[in-house]
Amino acid sequence: MLKIENLHATVADKPILNGVSLHVPAGEVHAIMGPNGSGKSTLAYVLAGRPGYAVSEGGAMFDGRDLLALEPHERAAAGLFLGFQYPVEIPGVSYLQFLRESLNSQRRSRGEAELSGAEFIKLAREQAALLGMDAEMLKRPVNVGFSGGEKKRAEMVQMGIMNPRFAVLDETDSGLDIDALKAVGAGINRIMRDPSKGVLLITHYQRLLDYVEPDKVHVLNGGRIVRSGGPELAKELEREGYVEAAA
Amino acid sequence: MTAPFPTRKQEEWRYADLDALEPVWEQFAEPRTLIVGPGESLEEVWLPTGDDVQVRRVELALGEGASARIFVLNTAPVYGRIELEISLATNADFELYGANIGTALATNEIVTVVKHLGVGGRSRQVIRSVLNGKATGSYLGKVEVARGAQQTDAEQSVKAMLLDRGATANAKPELEIFADDVKCAHGATVGELDATQLFYAESRGLDPAGARALLLEGFVMGLWDSVSDGDSIADAAREALRRIV
């Protein structure tokens, strides 16, 4: 489903990714773990198409399409979702309007009918309720005045509304208390655990993996995948640290 | 008798498009006078007319305890000027919410003089400009606090968004205060769209034009939050933004 091959990328001319190769077949959840500065967020941004992240070699295919040739909004319409490590605040724009316009823009480009205001609000309420978020918060400007945990929960509500085919979740677990972690983990399983979908879960810690069990775990270090294994690898990393486990 | 034609040497006409104004000057030379009696209130929404040159010159007098709220969308294709001189008696309350939205070679400006004459007056001016092409958007606002007009609370918030390198924003809040127990807040910023916000919106599926339009809408639309008179100005502003994105 997502096939990354020998991906090299630079940020401000500094090489960050130095040949990442990775294949996530449909129906699987893969975790990427690694120390600070190993290139995890850069990988997420490159996949989503953030300006300033330049691919110098290699590529990524998504369902047989050249992912890197698409604009960010085309990647979203193709079914890719990026859960941000630091969700962005947009003053003056309500969450409801932001998400409705985004979703309808995706649907238009896929040749699907747009959702009416009433249909969209129903969907948004359902998804907020499933993640334990007060739907009234969706009337507020995007992420403005939200706590760190509320922002991450809101990212998952967005994912529920967009219902993507593939999610790249960049440290969605950071800044969450234990209840929010459980809710977010359950949300990922409910929305994304499907034979036709895939997830790349980027995290520092094992704890989210207690709720979302990965099929494979990869260790990213120095912009390269240095080790891959099953779920037990995450536990080993937690026990021994990156330096030992990746050696 | 028509008032003398202005010159650019006059500070309040410094950024004006006098060439565009000259042929129609007679029509606008005399300001309109509005009086709001003690304790009364006024709300006006000034929509664009569609003419190439649009000028409104208004003198507004607020009696004791009177209040006025004016919402204005200034988006003339060639030259738009909103000129307001307001006097506030004791405990009067004045609010102005205005947007300059300009494209191509348009010049749109809002020029105000707010005179706090009595005790306890409150004025609030919020101006947002969105400009592309070689458009100019200006706000020149003078707040005068007269001797003895204590407990005056005056605020000026001026922000401009420049979408192209050739666009110009002028912001000139000015204070003249002859009382010692007053609050006069003023702030002015000029910026461009935030790249991180744009990427966030695009990653959710908005195409670049849609993302820009949404962010600009957020920047401007807060101005109309308190308007009681329907959606006309919000719709007109949305339409004006669509033209320039």
Residue-range domains of chain A with CATH: 2-246 (3.40.50.300)
Element containing residue A57 per DSSP (H, E): strand A53-62
Question: What pairs with residue B24 in β-bridges?
Answer: none
For chain B, residues with pLDDT lower than 70 are: 1, 230
Q: CA triplet A5, A11, A13: central angle to 5 degrees?
A: 105
- Sign of the C-alpha dihedral, residues A122, A124, A126, A129? negative
Structure tokens of A27?
Answer: 């129906």
Give pLDDT, residue B3.
82
Which tens digits make up the pLDDT trace of A58-78? Answer: 999 999 999 999 999 999 999
Give pLDDT, residue A247.
55
Residue B201 within any structural domain of the chain: no
Give pLDDT, residue B100.
98
SS (HEC) of chain B: CCCCCCCCCCHHHCCCCHHHHHHHHHHHCCCEEEEECCCCEEEEEECCCCCCEEEEEEEEEECCCCEEEEEEEECCCCEEEEEEEEEECCCCEEEEEEEEEECCCCEEEEEEEEEECCCCCEEEEEEEEEECCCCEEEEEEEEEECCCCCCCEEEEEEEEEECCCCCEEEEEEEEEECCCCCEEEEEEEEECCCHHHHHHHHHCCCCHHHHHHHHHHHHHHHHHCCCCCCCHHHHHHHHHHHHHC
Compute the distance between CA of residue B212 and CA of residue B209 in angstroms, rounded to an integer: 5
Do the beta carbons of residue B156 and residue B140 sit within 8 Å? no
State whether B201 and A102 contact (CB < 8 Å): yes
State whether B205 and A73 contact (CB < 8 Å): yes
In the structure, what pLDDT confidence band is assigned to residue A240 with cuts at 50, 70 and 90?
A: confident
Which tens digits make up the pLDDT trace of B40-63? Answer: 999 999 999 999 999 999 999 999
Determine which of A81, A101, A108, A139 to mutate to test the interface with B (most B C-beta atoms within 10 Å).
A101
Residue B233 within any structural domain of the chain: no
Using CA coordinates, name the residue in chain A closest to B221.
A92
Inform me whether the C-beta atom of residue A49 falls under 8 Å from chain B C-beta atoms: yes
Residue B226 within any structural domain of the chain: no
- On average, the pLDDT of chain A sits at 94
Compute the distance between CA of residue B215 and CA of residue A207 in angstroms, rounded to an integer: 36
Do the beta carbons of residue B170 and residue B179 sit within 8 Å? no
Task: Please state, for a pLDDT cut of 70, what percent of chain B lies above it.
Answer: 99
Residue B243 within any structural domain of the chain: no
Taking residues A131-154, report their average pLDDT: 93
Q: Structural domain of residue B17, as residue ranges?
A: 11-192
State whether B218 and A141 contact (CB < 8 Å): yes
Show residues of chain B in contact with A89, CB under 8 Å.
197
Do the beta carbons of residue B25 and residue B2 sit within 8 Å? yes
Using CA coordinates, name the residue in chain B closest to A163.
B204
Do the beta carbons of residue A217 and residue A204 sit within 8 Å? no
Residue B200 within any structural domain of the chain: no
Instruction: Identify which of B204, B218, B219 has the shortest CB distance to residue A102.
Output: B204
Residue B49 within any structural domain of the chain: yes
Inform me whether the C-beta atom of residue A77 falls under 8 Å from chain B C-beta atoms: yes
Residue B3 within any structural domain of the chain: no
Compute the distance between CA of residue A226 and CA of residue A212 in angstroms, rounded to an integer: 22
Using CA coordinates, name the residue in chain A closest to B205.
A73
Give pLDDT, residue A245.
63
Q: How many domains does chain B have?
A: 1
Give pLDDT, residue B230.
63
Give pLDDT, residue B60.
98
State whether A73 and B221 contact (CB < 8 Å): no
Compute the distance between CA of residue A8 and CA of residue A224 in angstroms, rounded to an integer: 9
Question: What pairs with residue A167 in β-bridges?
Answer: A81, A199
Residue B6 within any structural domain of the chain: no
State whether B215 and A90 contact (CB < 8 Å): yes
Provide the ipTM.
0.96
Do the beta carbons of residue A32 and residue A54 sit within 8 Å? no
Taking residues A97-105, report their average pLDDT: 96
Which 99-118 residues of chain A touch chain B by CB within 8 A?
Answer: 99, 101-103, 105-106, 109
Taking residues A103-126, report their average pLDDT: 96
State whether B205 and A50 contact (CB < 8 Å): no
Q: Is A216 helix (H, G, I), strand (E, B) or coil?
A: strand
